[in-house]
Amino acid sequence: MFASERGGILITAELEERAREIEESLHPLRCVTFMRDDFKIEDAKEVISEAYKSEENTKTLILGAKSFTVPAQNALLKILEEPPRNIVFILMAPNKSTFLPTVRSRLTMTQEHHERIYELLPITLKNLDLAGLFAFVKEHDRLKKHEAKALIEQLMHQAIHIEKLPLTSSQLEGFDKALRLIELNSRFQSVLVMVLMNFLKEVKRGR
């Protein structure tokens, strides 16, 4: 199902059905499924505890939820990056935007429905200068919360899939932080400047 031996992320509307199918396909190897409506920090701690129980054979941990809180995802980052021996993680949710960019960067992703089509933005991140940055920010300074989150997702999609930039950890964390700040009702103009400044700095260092 996934290219990586560490597992992956599955975007599906049929969480419980797909979890059962995965369990059956992996039999007789052990699967432990954590199915929640909202995956919280206490659920992440339970997963981590289960992951560190030693196994002679491969054990798959299936984490399925309609939403994953930011603290829960942050708690899982380290173990997703360096899973214990013989442990495989499969994360499932109905929407790709559920997962932070830093989580998505650690696992391959499979989608069961058509991926959202993004329009090309009037900005080039790899050649970003101050004039382009402030013109883009001015054009997008009055967005509703869902529109602001969608624009951050669109910027990340453009960076990774259109411009094919090798994102640094600070750039990935910038996208993460932006989504959290938008959720906390921070001023979007400032959030957008923060994200774009990460790319401006990269251009300056490369000169």
Structure-model confidence comparison of residues 176 and 1, the more confident one: 176
Burial class (CB in 10 A: 0-12, 13-18, 19+), 189: middle
What pLDDT, in 10s, does the model give residues 33-45?
999 989 999 999 9
Min mean pLDDT across 112-116, 151-155, 177-181 is at 112-116
Burial class (CB in 10 A: 0-12, 13-18, 19+), 118: middle
Residue 203 predicted with pLDDT over 50: no
Supply the pLDDT for residue 73: 95
Percent of the chain with pLDDT over 70: 91
10 pLDDT band (50/70/90 cuts)?
A: very high
Residue 4 predicted with pLDDT over 60: no
Supply the pLDDT for residue 7: 87
Structure-model confidence comparison of residues 80 and 202, the more confident one: 80
What percent of the chain is helix, strand and coil (3-state, nearest 5)? 50, 15, 30
Supply the pLDDT for residue 184: 85
Contacts of 144 (CB under 8 A, 6+ apart): none
SS3 178: helix
112 pLDDT band (50/70/90 cuts)?
A: confident
> Is residue 23 a contact partner of residue 33, using CB atoms and an 8 Å limit?
yes
What pLDDT, in 10s, does the model give residues 142-174?
888 878 988 998 999 999 989 999 999 899 999
Domain 7-111, CATH among 3.40.190.80, 3.60.70.12, 3.40.50.300, 3.40.50.720: 3.40.50.300
Q: What is the mean pLDDT of the chain?
A: 89
pTM of the full predicted structure?
Answer: 0.59
Structure-model confidence comparison of residues 13 and 205, the more confident one: 13
Q: State the first-to-last Cα distance of the chain, in angstroms, to the nearest integer.
A: 42
Q: Tell me the range of 4-13, 58-67, 145-154 where mean pLDDT is highest.
A: 58-67
Supply the pLDDT for residue 204: 47
Supply the pLDDT for residue 96: 87
